[in-house]
Amino acid sequence: MFVAATTDCLENLPLEDAIEKLAHLEFANIEIAIRESGNHVKPSEVCNDFQRACDVCQSTQRLNVIGYGLEIVEQGEEYFDVFTECCRLAKATKVVTLTVEAGEHGTPFNEEVEKYKRLVKIAELHGVRVGMRTRTGHLSDDPDTVSVICGHVKGLGLALDPSHYLYGKQNPPNYDHLLMYVQNVYLRDSTPDEVQVRVGQGVVEYGKLINLLRKTKFDRALCVDIKPDPNIDHDGELRKLRLLLESLLIV
């Protein structure tokens, strides 16, 4: 296991500035956010100027890119066309892990299963692994639904965000049975009432989670994902969680 940060932590900055800031905060590994509404890499840029997207994703001040976090807004066949281009980008830049959003509540279960079967098939052709991200308001916010989907789709991983199994739930569900599917983890501190609080003021049990992941031989990223907030020392919170996670990884 190792510590990383998503560039979404600095979603208000251009990608070059976000990378510079994360390097200054002594992160060695990053995930790059690829979404149309962001300031970093946009899916349309990957499709329209593939070589430039490759160049941008490799201009990281020697920081190691451990994955791409995708948010694709296209529907139907266009969705899979964009995903295929992102897989090409991952292969060209030697990135193994792609994270995608699950369907929102109301999405037919069978439709979601078929979507992921197709995504995994496309990803495997490019030597890439695809993970479904935990998100409140999406099918992935129920551990039992995730378990069934991952059970139906061989090769599908889980991008686990424990905050979304805590926030809005007075009796948070047990998700230990999902750890066998985890290929990426997003972390901040949270409570049932707030998805993000200062590190140490929430109830996320980092040490317990890391110990459970060790038992599954998990060897991928613990990705810090703390959004900007005018009420906190953002740089301080990013640094604090990095140091905490690194200390917990010392055996």
pLDDT in tens, the chain (251 residues): 999 999 999 999 999 999 999 999 999 999 999 999 888 899 999 999 999 999 999 999 889 999 999 999 899 999 999 999 999 999 999 999 999 999 999 999 999 999 999 999 999 999 999 999 999 999 999 999 999 999 999 999 999 999 999 988 878 889 999 999 999 999 999 999 999 999 999 999 999 999 999 999 999 999 999 999 888 899 999 999 999 999 999 86
Residue 198, pLDDT score: 94
- List the end-to-end C-alpha distance of the chain, in Å, as a whole number: 11
User: Strand pairing partners for 132?
Assistant: 100, 158
Residue 30, pLDDT score: 96
What are the residue boundaries of the structural domains of the chain, listed by start? 2-249
Residue 245, pLDDT score: 97
Characterize the bridge pairing of strands 157-160 and 97-101.
unpaired
Which residues touch 122 (CB under 8 Å, ≥6 apart)?
Answer: 80, 83, 84, 87
Residue 205, pLDDT score: 93
Residue 153, pLDDT score: 95
Residue 181, pLDDT score: 95
Residue 200, pLDDT score: 92
Whole-prediction pTM: 0.94
Residue 68, pLDDT score: 96
Determine the topology of domain 2-249 in CATH.
TIM Barrel (3.20.20)
CB 106 within 8 A of CB 138: no
Residue whose token pair is 């149309």: 36
Give the chain as a 3 state SS string: CEEEEEHHHHCCCCHHHHHHHHHHCCCCEEEEEEECCCCCECHHHHHHCHHHHHHHHCCCCCCEEEEEEEECCCCHHHHHHHHHHHHHHHHHCCCCEEEEECCECCCCHHHHHHHHHHHHHHHHHCCCEEEEECCCCEHHHCHHHHHHHHHHCCCCEEEECHHHHCCCCCCCCCCHHHHHHEEEEEECECCCCCCCECCCCCCCCHHHHHHHHHHCCCCCEEEECCCCCCCCCHHHHHHHHHHHHHHHHCC
94: Cα within 13 Å, side-chain hemisphere: 3
